[in-house]
Amino acid sequence: MLREGRLGKSVDAEFARYTSSLAFDRNILEYDILGSMAHALMLGRRGIIQEEEMKRILAGLLKIYRSRSVSLDHALEDVHVAVEARLFEEIGETAGKLHTARSRNDQVALDLRMLARDRINRISRALLALEEVLLKISGENKETPMPGYTHLQRAQPTTLAHHMLAHFWSFARDLERLEDAYRRVNLSPLGACALAGTSFPIDRTEVARLLGFSGIVENSQDAVASRDFLLEPLSALAILAVNLSRLAEELILWSTAEFGFVELSDELSSTSSIMPQKKNPDALEIMRARVARAIGNLTSAFALVKALPLAYNRDLQELSPVALDSFEILEASVSMLSRILSTAEFKHERMRATCEGDFLTATELADYLVREKGLAFRTAHRIVGRLVAGAVKAGISPDKITPEMLDDAALEVIGKPLGLSKEELECCLSLEKSIAGKRSTGAPSPPAVEESISRGEAKLAEFRARLEDRERKVKEAFEALLKEVERLAG
Amino acid sequence: MLREGRLGKSVDAEFARYTSSLAFDRNILEYDILGSMAHALMLGRRGIIQEEEMKRILAGLLKIYRSRSVSLDHALEDVHVAVEARLFEEIGETAGKLHTARSRNDQVALDLRMLARDRINRISRALLALEEVLLKISGENKETPMPGYTHLQRAQPTTLAHHMLAHFWSFARDLERLEDAYRRVNLSPLGACALAGTSFPIDRTEVARLLGFSGIVENSQDAVASRDFLLEPLSALAILAVNLSRLAEELILWSTAEFGFVELSDELSSTSSIMPQKKNPDALEIMRARVARAIGNLTSAFALVKALPLAYNRDLQELSPVALDSFEILEASVSMLSRILSTAEFKHERMRATCEGDFLTATELADYLVREKGLAFRTAHRIVGRLVAGAVKAGISPDKITPEMLDDAALEVIGKPLGLSKEELECCLSLEKSIAGKRSTGAPSPPAVEESISRGEAKLAEFRARLEDRERKVKEAFEALLKEVERLAG
Amino acid sequence: MLREGRLGKSVDAEFARYTSSLAFDRNILEYDILGSMAHALMLGRRGIIQEEEMKRILAGLLKIYRSRSVSLDHALEDVHVAVEARLFEEIGETAGKLHTARSRNDQVALDLRMLARDRINRISRALLALEEVLLKISGENKETPMPGYTHLQRAQPTTLAHHMLAHFWSFARDLERLEDAYRRVNLSPLGACALAGTSFPIDRTEVARLLGFSGIVENSQDAVASRDFLLEPLSALAILAVNLSRLAEELILWSTAEFGFVELSDELSSTSSIMPQKKNPDALEIMRARVARAIGNLTSAFALVKALPLAYNRDLQELSPVALDSFEILEASVSMLSRILSTAEFKHERMRATCEGDFLTATELADYLVREKGLAFRTAHRIVGRLVAGAVKAGISPDKITPEMLDDAALEVIGKPLGLSKEELECCLSLEKSIAGKRSTGAPSPPAVEESISRGEAKLAEFRARLEDRERKVKEAFEALLKEVERLAG
Amino acid sequence: MLREGRLGKSVDAEFARYTSSLAFDRNILEYDILGSMAHALMLGRRGIIQEEEMKRILAGLLKIYRSRSVSLDHALEDVHVAVEARLFEEIGETAGKLHTARSRNDQVALDLRMLARDRINRISRALLALEEVLLKISGENKETPMPGYTHLQRAQPTTLAHHMLAHFWSFARDLERLEDAYRRVNLSPLGACALAGTSFPIDRTEVARLLGFSGIVENSQDAVASRDFLLEPLSALAILAVNLSRLAEELILWSTAEFGFVELSDELSSTSSIMPQKKNPDALEIMRARVARAIGNLTSAFALVKALPLAYNRDLQELSPVALDSFEILEASVSMLSRILSTAEFKHERMRATCEGDFLTATELADYLVREKGLAFRTAHRIVGRLVAGAVKAGISPDKITPEMLDDAALEVIGKPLGLSKEELECCLSLEKSIAGKRSTGAPSPPAVEESISRGEAKLAEFRARLEDRERKVKEAFEALLKEVERLAG
């Protein structure tokens, strides 16, 4: 019956299937009903519909909300039509009053903003948990040496704590970006109607307040036509995804027999039936691949919105499942990564041995020559380079280097010996001492890491407080709304 | 039981959910069983398993094939494991023999190639139907003038036939690209096993033949690690998608009140309850948006495969649903566009009026001056430009232009009149005559269009013959395989 | 000489060409020198190098800064090496001291952040100008009716002011996003060195302050390995690009003969030599296409960073030109759009006529029936739909509708007449009255638009103040740094 | 002067800069002149211009062709205008005749097809060279064992030859795709004029022949509006890029100290001044990053063409530099990879040791149990899995496994011993024997590899013959054209 007004003839089945959004719409059903409740309440309070009508509508909506028994089949175009059809079954003609001063254009924008709001919070929560895992591993590994890489070549010694903190601070920016996006998502478009607002004396701010929004989207065409409230979170998620993929890639590398820095837990990897010592990092590979999908989803989203004239175009409907896919990918992946990390066993001995087998402290020796012997940086590098090249060629390990060898290298480069003592040399080339010396802010020495962890904890506490505030506001608004609806629906 | 060998401990539910491919796998279940039948047949024929074992396996597989009753739940990792588990239920321990000289790595590559093969053919069939609609519309509109646009500005008169043929020839290249991709898809990877082939005396060519492939993928690492057999069709589909979107965009524009060149059928558009004269081109908008998704899917696919070392990585699993989404989008969209076009009503009068209201034949007049009066092209353009500018300013329509006006313009530019007769002038500025003059190959004059349609029909006939041949070969192979299996399974 | 230490043998020309970043590096030369000045100053102040060395280095850098005479050819790998080579020519061996406690890894991150900072500010400035143009057009067109579109179908009347404000508020969010990104860009990575910080007693915060940064990037691996400080602005720019493209698309449509809502200025469009009345919106088409490039650049950026292990990888070098391309595209496009809009002539008569020719006020009549006659929304819609359908069929224009016609439609739907007066009917169907009635917040009635403009102006003033503050801080830091360098180099 | 007809007022400098294509156009200057020669020749032969005019035009064009002295500055819009302006300087008013029956729309399509044709051939030539390097390495390493990986975990032994052949066959498909694309690129659009062909009696086929094309693009709107002739090669190049990136990634991994399978040549890598034993695979990292750009370029291209109505839109201009970037990236990268591979030193001992240290031959033992002892595949896997697990736990290497240990494992699983002899066991677990056993088509046994190399050589010979044929046809056409022009310009 609702349809009849909208489609000239009987519905063509293929057309209905091709254009239907119902497969996605179950994800916004709850929001659609809550939005209708707030709208009806406002209509009644402002006298746009009669109090009695309002009460009947609310009673009907409440019943539907509790049962969620809305038929989402292809014959009905979308969730908005489906809910209204259900409401009609419940309360008859009065159902038609609900659509006063409203359009499906502002309704769907509302529902999607409520969805995005919820998903951003859920992903933020998962990210907070991941950050805690990273801080925990860092706290436990302040003195676990491991090689730091550039170009995937071992470059300088660092610690597992310092490495994990690199990811911690990177994810902290992801959290910030989600917060920033949330501010622009958490605004109500309702009251924009089809595109030009309405002549009914509505109160847009009141509806926004009832639904826990922090404000409204000012312009009515903008409110129904814009989707940057999805493009921005999708962008933030793509960055997060890329950050995840970097850690996932490292864990995949570290799980190889060649690196051997980590062993994944049995529950979170698959093994070969024939080589039980081998564990396939399947979840991490899938994570890496889903990151690619988050990138592709972003491309879809941008290509979709590009060059669309205002205001609403049906194209926008296709953006919703794309956005949802990224929301789901990221929530699941962040959560999976927390579990993988918190159950992984890091192979401290192998990490240390890898550092020692190579001349990773060579830079430290060069720095010492600059600092104590007044050599220019480049000169010191040449001398140490010569020394290391000789040692590698002769198969001499770092702890076997003698002051004489260094002097030989110095003679070749600057024509005079340097005269370091055996102690000085050991001190420079020692793994522990080298790391301990890196005391600049954000560097791997245990005290610097300690400070960084403290700052990280403080930062997390702030994030958590703000997230809880956001969650609480939405929750309280919904509870208050439902309570009021229950009261009125009596 | 199968799992036990593969996963060290009991399965973690979140891990299983995160890594499972079963949501996708129902799409390849049929192919997986057929592939197993061909493999078992070959194993038996080559004496790698005993005849009796082969018969039991085939009987079991046939039963599963007929019922399709394979449980695809998350507890089982993928379709290959699920089918084998079902087979175990049917025939007990012998089921274990089926996996001889095979791996899930070559199995999934096989299944995906069979899927891609089928989908390419289905989309090609849909495209052939669309091409026929375009030829039909062209045949009926060889003398329907319409404006040709550049920069979305009316530029020169053409005909609806000529315009539709532009799309026809463009889609013909899409058909060609799908054919080319098919040649590289239609090869069997089976026998590559995990990555290094096998020491069992298998016959890869025999299996390929049994499954209707035209050959095998030579190298065994390449066979399990490469996915260009999906990247290539996805690229071809993205190009097709973009071509579709251009026609969809035109139909959306033409459906506006401003253009008014077409009216979509009621069944395939939605209307406003309040403005019944207005039809929203919803299906076309959704088509335009899904094209964006085909582009995004392509991005996902490329980003996913980028920088993966050989051979198989679990990342590849995530490519399959992305590919399937594009296959489905394109098949449905091509089919929907056929229906929209074949039921649309083109507004001939409006198209003609649009041509006449503007000076679309001005170029023709300039060409005439070049041809008959020996003027340089640029000079002729300046004269006609002056003439048209004056006429537009004075509100004079094309049919009211006189030889004197032209002479005035010529005097200004070259200092002498041109002396065209009234007849000559009318002939140049007449819409029909102008179009009729465009006789170069591929131009809009009715005879040129006629020839183009003939060539198009011949081309379509060839496409159709080749497609039918491809379809027939697969169908016959499957029938023969099933018949042989039935015979052996007794 | 510098090279010798880095590359084992003589440089291979093709390798040098393939890997060189010098084509890009001219864009960061200035920042590289300023960064070196701040670094040298800090090294000297902290006693890491001697005061005399510091002074010589600063004098050399100042000379280079003033002349910008750094040879950027392929023989030298990158700008950092090139500047140091120039410095060596100026001051000899002491040049080697500059690289103490620094690496090209943190240097390039520094330079890119300084570049991004500058570009974000420049684009923000251009956006502010565009916003002013939009407000100006809005202020002048509060009573210029035009059709509002959904699905590119005329839907309801709005005004040019209201339409332009939709874009205004959308771009305001782009400005916000750039501000948010700026906070995360405006941090100094210097002191991270190769990846693990340093044992020299550097002061990272001091360097940050000298260069006008608001703080430092905490973790040293994160500081050299992360590039979200580019991914985030690139994402914000892609959203801005898409927003631009929507307005560009509308202007292209409006420039067609079919819409005829706008005439672009002659200087900013191209015309046909033969149809002077026709103007091609070339700049807008190119803008629309460059938006696609901004999307593609974003894809490149994400695909590039995906799955890179920490810390620095040479891949990152290739991100810089991609980012610069988007920065340049957006700055030029925003600026071009301002000029196009501020010189365009809007065709008020055509816009109004377009509204009146169609029944764009029909929704208003339905709303009136709901409000005054207590009809359900859906019922009112059916009645008005029936009325409009009849009128369109009979060729009756809105101002010719009579109360009797309405009653006929009502009889058919609800079985009784409605009895509206002629005045009531006219009031509903009048364009001016319909628009004037849309008084909800953000709707097109002139008073609502007036308020929205005021809020917009206030918002712009805030943006401007913050932007000027950002620009001033950088400028003052640079001036102070150069002054100090001049004093010491004196 | 040419401009005057096209732009109403004097040119706006910012507009000119924003819309100019001249930065790109130097890449098609040569083709533009050749195209004009062919066009002029045809015009003359068909009597559309007089013989004398044709001769003067050809003489002018020849002079320009020889000197290439065409000013490409922003004041002139594009290369077509620039060439015509130069021609006007040379021969005066007659220059205006050249534009008869032609438009910049078909001209630019022609030039781009000539460019794409040339670039496809150049990249194909570079690919052939890469394929030869791969075959050469394969030929030399048929008996060089190395681990085959799945999930980046060592899985089964293979050989370096077999691994390189995987890439060989993958790149062979890239060559095929370029050939297929070439067929659709190598068609002439000239004669399509602005969009509707012409009333001049031109001969499109003759022009195509003169320029070495294999045919024409049938429909005139399609000829100027379509760009799938760029989208298709860009797609093929993106696939090629992804294939390159996989080999590049492997070489980066293999260059690590952890894998140690390859040492890049000094000329093609960069080293640390301080750790000379470490070589950074810079060129490979840049290659991996440029692959990301090829993906992004593809996204740009698709997003750009999406939803453009026919026929020519200025947007298309922006596609050209994007396409060129990918052409250049791929040609340089393929060539660089050839050099890297042909100068790399593969570390045979390390590869072999890596195979032996792990139980990579365990699968072979399981297969033997299936084959000789009639065990089901899954059962055999369980027994061997048990055996390997015990050995790894006890630190027993493969060559120390005894028949008794196997029997112990068998007893646990199937309750009875297997009774293999020591010889049988050694034979299964031996690296050489295991590889030698893999004789299925495309597997790593030396004879199978030998055959595969032969087939590869035959395939390459065919590719080379076809490429040379394509190159020769274009070259001969150009030579014949220039010769004829010289004769006539006499």
pLDDT in tens, B430-480: 899 889 999 999 999 999 999 999 999 999 999 999 999 999 999 999 999
Mutate to test the interface with A, among C242, C249, C255, C288 (most CBs of A within 10 A): C242
CA distance D218 to D189: 8
The token duo for B471 is 């379809």
Residues of C with CB below 8 A from A176's CB?
Answer: 184
Residue B338 predicted with pLDDT over 60: yes
Supply the pLDDT for residue A10: 59
Determine whether the interchain pair B268/A303 forms a contact, defined as Cβ–Cβ distance below 8 Å: no
Residue A2: predicted pLDDT: 41
Averaged pLDDT, C462-477: 98
pLDDT higher at C341 or A78:
C341
**Chain C touched by B368 (CB under 8 Å):** no
- The 10 Å CB-count burial string (b at 16+, else e) for C397-410 is ebeebebebbbebb
- Is the complex ipTM more than 0.85? yes
Residue range B82-121, pLDDT digits in tens: 899 999 999 998 998 998 999 999 999 999 999 999 999 9
Mind listing the domains of chain B with CATH numbers?
A: 13-100 (1.10.275.10), 105-142+151-347 (1.20.200.10), 362-429 (1.10.40)
Among partner residues B96, B157, B305, which is closest to D379 by beta-carbon distance? Answer: B96
D366/A255 Cβ within 8 A: no
- A vs D: CB pairs below 8 A: 119
Nearest CA in chain C to B388: C275
**How many residues appear in chain B?**
490
* Least confident range of B340-354, C32-46, D12-26, D195-209: D12-26
Asked whether the predicted pLDDT for residue C123 surpasses 60, the reply is: yes
pLDDT tens-place string over residues C127-156: 999 999 999 999 999 999 999 999 999 999
Q: How far is A8 from chain B (nearest CA, A)?
A: 6
Of the pLDDT bands very low, low, confident and very high (cuts 50, 70, 90), residue B68 is confident
The pLDDT of residue A238: 98
For residue D388, the model assigns a pLDDT of 87
pLDDT in tens, D398-425: 888 899 999 999 999 999 999 898 888 8
Predicted local confidence at residue A106, as pLDDT: 96
pLDDT at C5: 39
Query: Diameter of chain A by CA atoms?
Result: 101
Selected residues 10-39 of chain D with any CB under 8 Å from a CB in chain C: 10-12, 14-15, 18-19
Q: Does A354 touch chain C (CB under 8 A)?
A: no
- Residue indicated by tokens 């004029």: D193
Q: What is the rounded CA–CA span in Å between residue D49 and residue D488?
A: 14
pLDDT at A424: 86
Find residues 162-201 of chain D whose CB sits inside 8 Å of chain B. Answer: 162-163, 165-170, 173-174, 176-177, 180, 184, 191-201
- Pick the residue from chain B with its C-alpha nearest to C379: B273
Which of these is catalytic: A71, A265, A272, A454? Answer: A272
Positions of chain D with pLDDT under 70: 1-11, 74-75, 273, 276-277
Fill in the amino acid letter for B427. Answer: C
- Residue C307 to residue B302, Cβ atoms within 8 A: no
**Sequence-ordered strand ranges (E) for C115-191:** 145-150, 153-159
Q: What is the pLDDT of residue C8?
A: 42
d(CA C469, CA C145): 39
pTM: 0.96
pLDDT of residue B3: 38
Q: Is the pLDDT of residue A240 over 50?
A: yes
Rounded Cα gap, residues A131 and A342, in angstroms:
11
What pLDDT is stored for residue C10 in this prediction? 60
D253 contacts chain A (CB < 8 A): yes
Q: Is the pLDDT of residue B2 over 60?
A: no
Residue C210 has pLDDT above 80, yes or no: yes
Among residues A483, A490, A476, A487, the alpha carbon closest in space to that of A209 is found at: A476
The alpha-carbon gap from B252 to the nearest alpha carbon of chain C, in Å, equals 8
pLDDT for D11 equals: 67
The whole-number pLDDT of residue D74 equals 58
Distance CA B343, CA A359 (A): 76
How confident is the model over B306-324, as a mean pLDDT? 96
Task: Return the exposure string of B129-149: e unless at least 16 CB atoms fall within 10 Å of the residue's CB, then b.
Answer: bbbbbbbebbeebbbbbbbbb
pLDDT of A6 strictly over 60? no
Cα C310 to Cα A245: distance, rounded to the nearest angstrom = 11
Residues of D within 8 A of A307 (CB-CB) are 307
User: Could you give the angle at which helices A160-185 and A446-489 cross, rounded to 10 degrees?
Assistant: 30
Whole-number Å distance between alpha carbons of D463 and D467: 6
pLDDT classification of C373: cutoffs 50, 70, 90: confident
Q: How confident is the model at residue B371 (pLDDT cuts 50, 70, 90)?
A: confident
pLDDT of residue C95: 92
> Are the beta carbons of D208 and D216 closer than 8 angstroms?
yes
Count of C-beta atoms within a 10 Å radius of residue A131: 25
Contact at CB, D280 and A381, closer than 8 angstroms: no
Structure tokens at B309: 């070392």
Bigger pLDDT: B294 or D1? B294
CA nearest to A266, candidates A251, A278, A249, A254: A278
> Residue A305: what are its φ and ψ, rounded to 5°?
-80, -25
Question: Which of the two residues, A32 and C267, has the higher pLDDT score?
Answer: A32
Q: Which residues of A touch D278 (CB under 8 A)?
A: 153-155
Q: Could you give the count of Cα atoms lying within 13 Å of B239 in the half-sphere of its Cβ?
A: 29
Residue B75: which pLDDT band, with cuts at 50, 70 and 90?
low
- Per-residue pLDDT band for A23 (boundaries 50, 70, 90) equals confident
- Active-site residues of B: which are they? 151, 272
B272: closest chain C residue by CA: C385
* pLDDT value for C244: 98
Dihedral angle sign, alpha carbons of residues C384, C389, C394, C396 = positive
Question: What percent of chain C lies above the pLDDT cut of 70?
Answer: 97
DSSP state string for C395-429: T--GGG--HHHHHHHHHHHHSS-----HHHHHHHH
Would an 8 Å CB–CB cutoff place C280 in contact with chain A? no
CB C12 within 8 A of CB D334: no
Mean pLDDT across the stretch C197-221?
97
Q: How many CB atoms lie within 10 A of CB C265?
A: 17
Evaluate if residue B20 carries a pLDDT over 80.
yes
Question: At residue B5, does pLDDT exceed 90?
Answer: no
Average pLDDT of chain A is: 92
Min Cα–Cα distance to chain B from A319, Å: 8
Q: To the nearest whole angstrom, how far is the Cα of B152 from the nearest Cα of chain C?
A: 6
- Does residue A119 have a pLDDT over 50? yes
pLDDT of residue D10: 60
Average model confidence (pLDDT) across chain C: 92
Q: What is the pLDDT of residue C7?
A: 40
CA distance linking residue B169 with residue D224, whole number of Å: 12
- Environment class of residue D13 by beta-carbon count within 10 Å: exposed (0-12), middle (13-18) or buried (19+)? exposed
Crossing angle, helix C228-255 and helix C160-185, to 10 degrees?
170
pLDDT in tens, B372-415: 888 887 888 889 989 988 888 888 888 888 999 999 999 999 99
A381: pLDDT strictly greater than 90: no
Query: Are the C-beta atoms of residues C456 and C168 closer than 8 Å to each other?
Result: yes
Averaged pLDDT, C424-449: 92
Chain A nearest-CA distance from C400, in A, is 23
Q: Is the pLDDT of residue B25 over 70?
A: yes
Contact list, C276 vs chain B (CB under 8 Å) = 385, 388-389, 392
State pLDDT tens for residues C245-282. 999 999 999 999 999 999 999 888 887 767 766 789 99
Q: Is the pLDDT of residue B1 over 50?
A: no
